[in-house]
Amino acid sequence: MKDGHYIKLTAVYFFAGLVMIYASYILPKWLPGDFVTAMYSDSNVTLTVEQEAQIRACCTGKEGLSRYLINLLSLKWGYSYALLTPVSDLILEALPWTLLLFGGAHAASMLLGFIFGVEAAWRRGGWVEKISVGCMTIIEGVPEICTGVVLLIIFALFLGWFPASGGETAYAVQSTVNRILDVGHHLVLPLVTLVLAYFPGNFLLTRGSMVMVLKEQFVQTARAKGLPPARVRYAHAARNALLPMFTRFGLRIAFMVTGVLVVETIYSYPGMGTLLFKAIGVRDLPLIQGIVLFSSLAVLFVNLAMEFLYGMIDPRVRYAH
Amino acid sequence: MHISFRHELGRDPWFITGIVLACILFFLIVLGPYLTSYDPDDISFSPLSPPSEEHWLGINDGGMDILSELLYGMRNTAGFGLLAGVFALFIGVSVGLIAAWFSGLPDQIAMRLADVILAVPSVMILIMTAALFRPSPFMLALIFSFMSWPTTAKVIRSHALVVKNRLHIQAARQAGASGAYIIARHLLPELFPLYVIGFAAKARMAMFMEASLAFLGLFDPSRKSLGIMISYAIKYYYMDIWWNWLLPPVIVLTLLTMAVTFLAVSLEKVFDPRLTAS
């Protein structure tokens, strides 16, 4: 039965991936007109018939689905209209920054949310717990745009502690250590914004499930055995409270991707969000399409990996299906 | 589900804060156009002038009154959220109830479809359609709800499956009631609290999406929205306009999502039997 569950899961994700690829193939074909008309019809450049035919042959994707798939696999995602660079180069250049920001924010918020959630549930009913739950519920209601803007005004504009934009100091020739520090310095504000957005949810969720787990009998047994409280909390109870955080990940990811896009744009962080923002600004369709497809497939892949991981952490999932 | 929840809600500080906030915002949204004497598209004022007697929040870079922009933008953002929330709720409830009632093949199809849609990141679909076709906000709200019904449908389905096997529904069946009658008369009203929670969650997400997409420049730039206001104002953040131009849309957007979040949190707390029991 165990394999059946994973096969079904993989099939669902595979199908979702196909839907995304097909959508990105078919949607531009439904557009009225084409790139050449859009670019040159209202500009001062007048094209001769041959020139127009040449550009059209080079820029308009008239390839069939099979050709499109082969191009997709061989990283030939077309050229950006505005930057005249291969889309794959642009994406791969921006990807490390986004991974650094998103991965860092995600790891930090999960770890913090988990530890604080467990501790809060342990101290259930105390005033520290009540205040922290209240604060977290309030922060949970604040969208990333707002935290981002407020942090920008306070820490970049007034206090000047952190740079307001960019991923590192441009054109600076630095030693490796200084460069890492520089990147870290630029990372602080966007990272904190994202952590503030993700952390409360993780905290509230862990606390909620931990409160449930603490009522179970095995926790009482562990306590009765005379184990140190920290061991009861983490080795026995918290492992069971970890699971909802993983299930939630898949449901929240659309939300989180939007958050990254917005936060990167606010701080002009050189990742995929800023790239997308610029591409939208000049209606650079191949680039928009490339980013959308690439990030959706990445999200699908991460989600699927999460499902497998989930089964590994929780034996109940493995045997239930 | 027939607990007297009114009393419990009345004592919950989150609910009170949320409902007060929501009422104030609703008042501003409904009466918005009457509260300002300026047309938000009027560009005849002197750009970037600071707040004054006539213009409480000053003028933006395009020569428009910021206060009236704010009131109209709020209307659009909240309207998008409510519309998308209603659509998503409608689809989710219908699919969930139908899947639960008929089970078997319709259930299988609906739930596998829900899995696929859940797996696809909806914001990417929204960005792609918005960038390619520049649809109206109404269309985008529809697309958003098509991408976000599965969570509601799954919750409704699992609760409906429990209710479906209760005695009174079996009695109704024995009495010869049709499926449509039982769904409309029994299942639909009995799951009411779940709709409110689902609606609040969806509306909140939709408002957040609207602001983010507008901020990224995916809506018609002449349409007023809190996200667009922020994206214009943030270009000038280093100037002295941050408190009268940048901050107001930020605060209003925060209050909007906060009101909905508080309501959702308190409703969930009161209606979710697992949490109330603890």
Residue A107 lies in a domain: yes
Whether residues A289 and A260 share a domain: the answer is: no
Instruction: Return d(Cα B11, Cα A266) in angstroms, integer.
Output: 39
B169, B163 Cβ separation under 8 angstroms = yes
Tallying the residues shown for chain A, one arrives at 321
Whether residues A220 and A270 share a domain: the answer is: yes
Instruction: Return d(Cα A256, Cα B179) in angstroms, integer.
Output: 40
Residue A108 lies in a domain: yes
- Give chain A's end-to-end CA distance (angstroms, integer): 6
Chain B residues touching residue A253 (CB < 8 angstroms): 121
The DSSP result for B98-118, as a single string, is HHHHH-HHHHHHHHHHHHHHH
Chain B residues touching residue A164 (CB < 8 angstroms): 237-238
Whether residues A136 and A189 share a domain: the answer is: yes
* Chain B CA closest to residue A17: B120
Residue A294 lies in a domain: yes
Instruction: Return d(Cα A4, Cα B217) in angstroms, integer.
Output: 44
- pLDDT tens by residue, B114-154: 888 887 777 888 888 888 788 888 888 999 898 888 888 88
Of B237, B253, B275, the CB nearest to A157: B237
Domains and CATH numbers, chain B: 2-35+67-276 (1.10.3720.10)
Query: Domain range spanning residue A140?
Result: 94-281
Whether residues A126 and A69 share a domain: the answer is: no
For chain A, the domain total comes to: 2
Q: Classify the C-alpha dihedral B238-B244-B245-B251 as positive or negative.
A: positive
* Cβ of residue A138 closer than 8 Å to a chain B Cβ: yes
The residue written with tokens 């929840």 in the block is B5
Of A208, A188, A204, A200, the C-alpha closest to A109 is: A200
CA atoms within 13 A on the CB side of B203: 26
Whether residues A151 and A174 share a domain: the answer is: yes
B60 Cβ contact partners less than 8 Å away, ≥ 6 residues apart: B47, B48, B66, B69, B229, B232, B233, B245
Q: Where are the alpha helices (DSSP H) in chain A?
A: 2-26, 35-40, 49-59, 65-73, 87-122, 127-140, 144-151, 176-214, 217-224, 229-231, 239-241, 243-266, 272-281, 285-313, 315-320
* Paired tokens of A264: 């990167």
The tens-digit pLDDT sequence of chain B (278 residues) is 445 667 777 777 888 888 898 899 888 888 877 777 777 777 777 777 777 777 777 777 777 787 888 888 888 888 898 999 999 999 999 998 888 888 788 888 888 888 888 877 778 888 888 887 888 888 889 998 988 888 888 888 888 888 888 888 888 888 888 878 888 888 787 777 778 888 888 888 888 888 888 888 888 777 888 888 888 888 887 777 777 788 888 888 888 888 888 888 888 777 765 444 33
Of B181, B184, B188, B186, the C-alpha closest to B168 is: B186
* Cβ of residue B122 closer than 8 Å to a chain A Cβ: yes
Q: Count CB atoms within 10 A of the CB of residue B240.
A: 10
Instruction: Return d(Cα B132, Cα A284) in angstroms, integer.
Output: 10
Whether residues A195 and A292 share a domain: the answer is: no
Chain B residues touching residue A160 (CB < 8 angstroms): none
Residue A217 lies in a domain: yes
CATH number of the domain that A266 lies in? 1.10.3720.10
Of B117, B121, B212, the CB nearest to A145: B212
Whether residues A182 and A110 share a domain: the answer is: yes
A148, A266 Cβ separation under 8 angstroms = yes
At A79, is the secondary structure helix, strand, or coil?
strand
Whether residues A234 and A112 share a domain: the answer is: yes
Whether residues A250 and A125 share a domain: the answer is: yes
Whether residues A58 and A98 share a domain: the answer is: no
Whether residues A45 and A151 share a domain: the answer is: no
A141, B254 Cβ separation under 8 angstroms = yes
Q: Which helix (H) or strand (E) holds B80?
A: helix B66-102
The DSSP result for A199-226, as a single string, is HHHHHHHHHHHHHHHHTSHHHHHHHHTT
Chain A residues touching residue B123 (CB < 8 angstroms): 254-255, 257-258, 261
Q: Which of residues 62-121 of A touch B (CB under 8 A)?
A: none
The tens-digit pLDDT sequence of chain A (321 residues) is 456 777 877 888 888 888 888 887 777 777 666 666 666 666 666 777 777 777 766 665 566 777 777 777 777 777 777 777 888 888 888 888 888 888 888 889 888 988 888 888 888 877 888 888 888 888 887 888 888 888 888 888 788 788 877 777 777 777 788 888 888 888 888 899 889 888 888 888 888 888 888 888 888 888 888 888 888 888 777 877 777 777 777 667 767 787 888 888 888 888 888 888 888 877 777 888 888 888 888 888 888 887 787 777 766 666 655
Residue A104 lies in a domain: yes
At A86, is the secondary structure helix, strand, or coil?
strand
A165 Cβ contact partners less than 8 Å away, ≥ 6 residues apart: A267, A268, A269
The 3 state secondary structure assigned to B114-170 is HHHHHHCCHHHHHHHHHHHHCCCHHHHHHHHHHHHHHHHHHHHHHHHHHHHCCHHHH
B215, B227 Cβ separation under 8 angstroms = yes
Residue A88 lies in a domain: no
The residue written with tokens 């603890």 in the block is B278
Q: Cβ–Cβ of B128/A292 closer than 8 Å?
A: yes
Residue A87 lies in a domain: no
A279, A291 Cβ separation under 8 angstroms = yes
The pLDDT assigned to B275 comes to 43
* Chain A CA closest to residue B133: A31
Which among A162, A249, A262, A293 is the top mutation candidate for probing chain B, defined by the most B β-carbons within 10 Å of its own β-carbon?
A: A262
Q: Count CB atoms within 10 A of the CB of residue A13.
A: 20
The pLDDT assigned to B91 comes to 92
Whether residues A117 and A166 share a domain: the answer is: yes
Of A82, A299, A118, the C-alpha closest to A206 is: A118
Q: Cβ–Cβ of A292/B14 closer than 8 Å?
A: no
* Chain B CA closest to residue A213: B278
Residue A186 lies in a domain: yes
At B49, is the secondary structure helix, strand, or coil?
coil
A278 Cβ contact partners less than 8 Å away, ≥ 6 residues apart: A82, A284
Q: Which of residues 2-21 of B touch A (CB under 8 A)?
A: 14
Query: Helix B104-119 vs helix B137-164: angle between axes, to the nearest 10 degrees?
Result: 140
Measured in angstroms, the CA of B214 and the nearest CA of chain A are apart by 10
Q: Which helix (H) or strand (E) holds B94?
A: helix B66-102
B112, B66 Cβ separation under 8 angstroms = no
